[in-house]
Copies of this chain bind each other. A is one copy, B any other.
Amino acid sequence: MKNTFGSALTLTLFGESHGKAIGAVLDGLAPGLCVSEESIAAYLALRRPAGAISTARREPDEFEILSGVLNGKTCGTPLCIVIPNKDVRPGDYDEMRDLLRPGHADFTANVKYGGFQDARGGGHQSARLTAALVAAGAILLDALKDRGIKIGTHIKRCACVDDAPFGDIERDIEALEYKPFATISDEAGERMRAAILDAKEDGDSVGGVLETAVCGLPAGVGEPWFDSLEGVLAHALFSIPAVKGVEFGAGFSISDMRGTQANDAFYCENGVIKTCTNNNGGVNGGISNGMPVLFSVAYKPTPTISLPQETVNIRTMESAYIRGAGRHDPCVAHRARAVQDAVTALCIADMLTVRYGVGYFTK
């Protein structure tokens, strides 16, 4: 349903990059959940550009909760959170207004909206809107944590540099929390950062892969057809700007395995059924099996780069060259981590509400 996502717990997104504000409405929240403005601010800080490896745009991300919260607790009614746009320079985009930025949505938005879209800085399609996703997600991440469900994301690969794999997942998630550059191996993180700066110096950009783990999700969540755990998560994850691939467990590499390798054998430990391996990423037949849910998401390199690129002027239909104006990131992977956590929390909280009702969060 367009800019609204979710079944029992829904998020509606609005705003444009250089308009008055961006924001989100969260509906279907259980009443009585704690809403910590500190926590929201902390998650927003993780998404905010940081130093040389990020854009120079500086948004304080001062948010305002307009509804749905009283005395620090959810009312059970729609929670609207608004983040005004402050560091707006729409003029940056004037001279290149008619030049279609390769890899961006300028052309497709133009066709879809017939030229009436707010094209400045990507408008409604700007990654700026993910700040609203993160703010809403922060509330859900906290609510899930209170119920023993922990979500964490690391930069699995960036600029062709690999991070260490998940080991003790719960501990890794804890260590990653609030880490500004979310790698499991600090050394790998250093090398990634260096590679990002290299690309930046070349006027270019790099991409990456982010891997998320969800621990503590009970078995039995998700539907066999269509609203499978994988399908719902993938649906939402592909909304994050720059995402071009989603895989669960062993993902694409499972298609090179044989059944004997790929199948996760069952065993029983203290009355709980577990699997020896987790190639299926905690999901069988669309439904959670109680093992950690694991998935990886591929981000393309930031399309805005300083190097000149061939394109078309949409007004004159003539060939042209474009260079990245506006402020932009040489890599989005490290910032996208907070977004991926937030989107995951939204899906998981929704699917738990579908299965158990709002009571899941109030018991």
Contact = CB atoms under 8 A, between A and B. Distances in A.
Interface in A54-71: 64-68, 70
Contacts of A148: none
A241 interface: yes
Given A16-B77, A21-B67, A303-B262, A108 B267 contact: no
A93 interface: no
How many interface residues does chain A have, given as a range? Answer: 35 or more
A314 B104 CA distance: 51
A284 interface: yes
Contact of A250 (B206, B244, B246, B309): B244
Give the number of times this chain occurs in the complex, counting copies: 4
A281 interface: yes
Contact of A231 (B65, B105, B107, B234): B234
Contact of A14 (B67, B248, B268): B67
Interface in A252-277: 252, 254-268, 271, 273, 275-276
A289 interface: yes
A180 interface: no
Contact of A307 (B67, B114, B124, B260): B260
A302 to B, nearest CB: 6
A23 to B, nearest CB: 6
Nearest to A358: B355
A142 B206 CA distance: 41
A49 interface: no
A200 to B, nearest CB: 11
Given A14-B27, A111-B290, A124-B225, 6 more contacts: A5-B226, A103-B259, A103-B263, A105-B224, A252-B298, A262-B301
12 contacts: A16-B75, A31-B116, A108-B284, A112-B222, A226-B236, A228-B238, A231-B234, A231-B237, A244-B249, A244-B251, A245-B251, A273-B317
Closest 3 pairs between A and B when the two form their complex, measured CB to CB: A105-B285, A245-B247, A108-B287
